[in-house]
Structure 1
Amino acid sequence: MVFAHDTEVALVAAAHLVNTAGRGEERLPDPAALAEFYAANGWTGRHERTTAELRSVRALRPRLRRLWDADEDEVVEIVNALLREAKALPQLVRHDAWPYHLHATPSDAPLADRMAVEAAMAMVDVVREGELRRLRICDFPDCDNVFVDLSKNRSKRFCDAGCGNRAAVNAYRARRAAR
């Protein structure tokens, strides 16, 4: 394991959230889609299922996306701003099947604030461990999805949207055509 389990979960959830703003395709079109995203990424606590909540979650995406492009100093600025704006106060909590882990907002805080703080807290670990290079952008042409490389040897090149399979098929076809 590269990071603590809750850090890895938060990093992956942040990448999934960023990727909902795909090229010209809105993957969080309505509150129902946000509810599916909420459940699929294991979020707990307050969830209003309103258009206002959806707008605030969508507004968070570009700020999180910037984390994948920024240098260390800018990442720290973004993380500190997210934590400051949400008035984060880290505390150890235990809920559901999870052992003790950090939460920095109460469970009744707005969803976008909780998402921002979870991502920011995870980024604290990434920066402290000097592992920003684990934040990657998919190598497949025409894919700008982000992901977190949690492999031991830092060798992951493609997102989880099937780009690795498409790259392998393209390479196979190119080899066959060359024969």
Structure 2
Amino acid sequence: MTNSSGRHVEAFGLASVVELINEWGEVPRAVADEADAPYPEVTAALQISADDFRSRYGAPTTAALRTAADALYPLFGSDGPAMVEAIGRLLTSTALRPALIARDADTVDEVWECTRAADRLVAGAVLSIVEHLRFDGDVTRLGVCSGDDCADVYVDLSPARRRRFCSVTCQNRNRARSYRRARAEHGDS
């Protein structure tokens, strides 16, 4: 959300960050052989109304969405030091910074500010990841799919903390390929 001066940025849901990366990121689209496929409807994919998107991040251009997705992709599948460094670079490049505002005469609130409108989409997504890491610092829970033909990202929210695939579909596809390979190696048909 932005304030009247348009500088305040709020985190958006991690599911929307994942969708942004998977639907507009160059690597996930190329690995899935979707580089030439049309992009989805922005507001449906990111689960936000068109008015909310425009008021928070400006006009949803494909170029801006691709740039944001490609900037965020390296955060997933990184180890702790690499993630910290990548987040630091994004915080610096977007000039995202905490600030205080007076809600009324007796109360202040923490907000995040990003002065450049072009950086607000990346800033909101980075803020989402930072807030997630604040409550669960396990960076291995922000992963890249282990599927053979997939490079989609995911957030592992499972109790076992063992997720390796972006979806059950990718997991089943990978199991079926492994099964067929094993049968072929043993001469079974």
Q: Shift in Å at residue 118 of structure 1?
A: 2.3
1:40 to 45, 49, 57: 45
Flag the structure with larger Rg: 2
- Note the alpha carbon deviations across 1:88-109, whole angstroms, 9 max, x for none: 35579xxxxxxxxx86358x97
Q: Is the 8 A contact 2:20 2:45 kept in 1?
A: no
* Gap runs ≥5 in structure 2: 1-9, 101-109
1:26 match: secondary structure: coil
Q: Shift in Å at residue 49 of structure 1?
A: 4.4
Alignment of 1:124-143 (within 5 A): 124-128=130-134, 129-143=136-150
1:12 to 10, 15, 22: 15
- Note the alpha carbon deviations across 1:39-58, whole angstroms, 9 max, x for none: 332233336546xx321221
TM-score, normalised via structure 1 length = 0.64
2:75 to 43, 54, 67: 67
TM-score, normalised via structure 2 length = 0.61
- Note the alpha carbon deviations across 1:72-99, whole angstroms, 9 max, x for none: 233223223323333335579xxxxxxx
In structure 1, how many angstroms separate the alpha carbons of the residues matched to 2:85 and 2:78?
10
* Gap runs ≥5 in structure 1: 1-5, 93-101
Cα 1:69–1:157 change in 2 (3 A) is: closer
Name the counterpart of 2:35. 26
Name the counterpart of 1:162. 169
Number of equivalences = 157
Name the counterpart of 2:120. 114
Q: What do you get for the CA RMSD once the two structures are aligned? A: 3.8
In structure 2, how many angstroms separate the alpha carbons of the residues matched to 1:59 and 1:127?
23
Name the counterpart of 1:58. 66
